[in-house]
């Protein structure tokens, strides 16, 4: 039986509005739909692991409010172990305000709420769970202090640490974190912020991935949106995205990373896991919402079979 994946990260309620095009500053436009659905990059990744058949534990915080109850219950319904999710009696559950246009592109404002109260104490409380995990995942919707202790703990326990450096951090990611990161999964904007150069082409993505490795990262997986991703580690490989009719790309990056963790937990190579992740992300963008867009394992297996015919 595969070891569990541990996710340390954000838990939000997403308030999603559909519109024909993104409004200009100061402009009011009519929307075409509304959806309230649990999200947060950490919770999205945990839900992905569980819905794709992996064993998953989640470390995080929610407020003592309705959104906190619903997000926790939603994760539990997928089979995520929520025993490490604490209730914050001072801060509200995190919220994301999301606009999605007819092209499937999105614009997001995140109110951190209880997510920003996650600290080193949560990581230390989960040390035994970290030791038992096949890998540990984190994002940057929680304080860097918690991420730093998490990276250090994974390094001490020889557990692979996967960091999704999203959203773009306000300042540089500490060197001691990068040197303890087994897999880094930035998108184009995050990569540019870290290496200082544009990532507009596949060749530029490979060059940026090499710079990330020089900073100490074990393997860099640079996400290029609809084009695909590049792997820069012991191997260098471009993995093309699967072509689908996109409806909503809100959680595609989270689904991609969560699926990679599932693949690795099942013994896939990094290249095989990234290809698995690209299929999962492609299927997710054909649906609205964050966790509501994540496929089950049976759905994904059918999608992969159909795409490979």
Return the active site residues: 254
Instruction: Tell me phi and psi for residue 44, to 5 degrees.
Output: -60, -45
Contacts of 295 (CB under 8 A, 6+ apart): 51, 52, 280, 283, 284, 303
Contact (CB, 8 A) for 150 and 186: no
Written as six digits, the tokens of 7 are 């996710």
Query: The tokens 């595609």 sit on which residue?
Result: 252
CA–CA distance from 36 to each of 12, 148, 203, 287 (Å)?
11, 32, 39, 14
Kindly report the number of other CB atoms within 10 A of residue 208's CB atom: 24
Q: List strand residue ranges (DSSP E) for the chain, in order.
A: 5-8, 12-19, 31-39, 56-63, 81-88, 94-100, 106-111, 135-139, 161-164, 183-184, 219-223, 228-232, 236-240
Please say whether the beta carbons of 185 and 219 come within 8 A.
no
Beta carbons of 233 and 90 less than 8 angstroms apart: no
- Yes or no: say if 100 and 248 are a contact pair by the CB < 8 Å rule: yes
């Amino acid at each position: 039986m595969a070891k569990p994946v541990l996710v340390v990260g954000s838990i939000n309620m997403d308030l999603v509005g559909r519109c024909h095009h993104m409004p200009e500053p100061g402009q009011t436009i009519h929307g075409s739909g509304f959806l309230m659905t649990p999200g947060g990059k950490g919770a999205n990744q945990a839900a992905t692991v569980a819905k794709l058949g992996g064993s998953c534990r989640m470390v995080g915080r929610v407020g003592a409010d309705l959104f906190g109850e619903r997000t926790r219950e939603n994760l539990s319904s997928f089979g995520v172990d929520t025993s490490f999710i604490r209730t914050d009696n001072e801060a509200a559950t995190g919220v994301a305000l999301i606009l999605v246009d007819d092209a499937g592109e999105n614009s997001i404002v995140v109110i951190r709420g209880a997510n920003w109260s996650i600290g080193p104490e949560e990581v230390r409380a989960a040390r035994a769970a970290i030791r038992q995990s096949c890998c540990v995942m984190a994002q940057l919707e929680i304080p860097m202090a918690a991420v730093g202790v998490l990276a250090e703990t994974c390094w001490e326990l020889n557990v692979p640490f996967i960091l999704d450096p999203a959203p773009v951090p306000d300042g540089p990611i500490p060197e001691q974190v990068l040197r303890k990161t087994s897999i880094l999964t930035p998108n184009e904007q995050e990569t540019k912020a870290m290496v200082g150069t544009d990532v507009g082409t596949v060749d530029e993505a490979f060059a940026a991935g090499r710079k990330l490795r020089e900073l100490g990262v074990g393997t860099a997986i640079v996400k290029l949106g609809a084009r695909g991703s590049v792997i820069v580690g012991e191997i260098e490989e471009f993995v093309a995205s699967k072509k689908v009719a996109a409806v909503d790309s809100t959680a595609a990056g989270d689904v991609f990373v969560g699926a990679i963790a599932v693949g690795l937990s099942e013994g896939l190579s990094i290249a095989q896991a990234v290809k698995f992740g690209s299929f999962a992300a492609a299927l997710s963008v054909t649906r609205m919402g964050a966790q509501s867009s994540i496929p089950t394992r049976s759905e994904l297996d059918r999608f992969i079979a159909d795409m490979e015919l």
